[in-house]
Amino acid sequence: MKLLVIEDDIEMAEDVASRLRDLGHKVEVVGDGRQGLAAAFADAYDVLVVDRMLPTMDGLSLVRTLRKDDVRTPVLFLTTMAGIDDRVEGLEAGGDDYLVKPFAPAELVARVNALGRRAKLPGVDTVLRVADLEIDLVKRTVVRAGQRIELQPREFQLLEFLMRHAGQVVTRTMLLENVWDFHFDPQTNIVETHISRLRSKVDRDFHGMLIQTIRGAGYLLRDPA
């Protein structure tokens, strides 16, 4: 697995990273909250290990920001705060698990491995394909005709919804509710703007238009063949 450890205690971070690397995992370490946020946005990780107390941006704010932008990478919080309210706060911020310091290294390794397995449960499609377009929901990657396509988090979520409904017309209302979690019409062109941006990346410079506008109905993603 590819892991990101965001921890300002360098000695602890390197010890954790070393143990995980010994098991064959690829581990990157960042000691600052804002740098950790940038790293989590910039690359696809299987699990994030995040300290709650970090310089420049605390762990809770970091994870809330990721979740707000639809980054769903599993998160294990590390903290000295052992109270029930603290655990609840961490989970409600978007954390998936919570480990109190000091901890047994073997327990941390077990929890990281469990989070990694949870993200790859059997029977759940983690790779979606339509024609020569492929989206990997775990690695958060998009490839068309063998070429990597970089998407922003909201663009990725929009494409995922369209691909899960490939061959079906999806309405603007469906997109607002399922991609933006809006249960009202914001009276903006947010959907049209994002569809346009997505087309410019997914369809332009490739053979065949996958994303089609169905006038008066909505949008349709299908194999043009």
pLDDT in tens, 136-183: 887 788 999 999 999 988 899 899 999 989 999 999 999 998 888 787
Chain centroid to CA 30: how far?
Answer: 18
- Return d(Cα 114, Cα 214) in angstroms, integer: 43
Residues of each domain in the chain carrying CATH 1.10.10.10 = 127-221
Model confidence band, residue 129 (pLDDT cutoffs 50, 70, 90): very high
- Is the model's pLDDT at 23 over the cut of 60? yes
1.10.10.10, 3.40.47.10, 3.40.50.1370, 2.170.150.70: CATH of 127-221? 1.10.10.10
User: What pLDDT sits at residue 125?
Assistant: 61
Q: Which is it for the CA torsion 53, 58, 64, 68, positive or negative?
A: negative
Helix (H, G, I), strand (E, B) or coil at 166: coil
Contact 27, 3 (CB under 8 A): yes
Q: How confident is the model at residue 190 (pLDDT cuts 50, 70, 90)?
A: very high
- The pLDDT, as a whole number, for residue 225 is 76
Residue type for position 77: F
Task: Please give the CATH topology (third level) of the domain spanning 2-118.
Answer: Rossmann fold (3.40.50)
Tokens of 193: 């703007």
148-152 long-range contacts (CB < 8 A, ≥24 apart) are 149/201, 149/202, 150/201, 151/198, 151/201
- Tell me the average pLDDT across 60-75: 90
Question: Could you tell me where in the chain the CATH 3.40.50.2300 domains are found?
Answer: 2-118
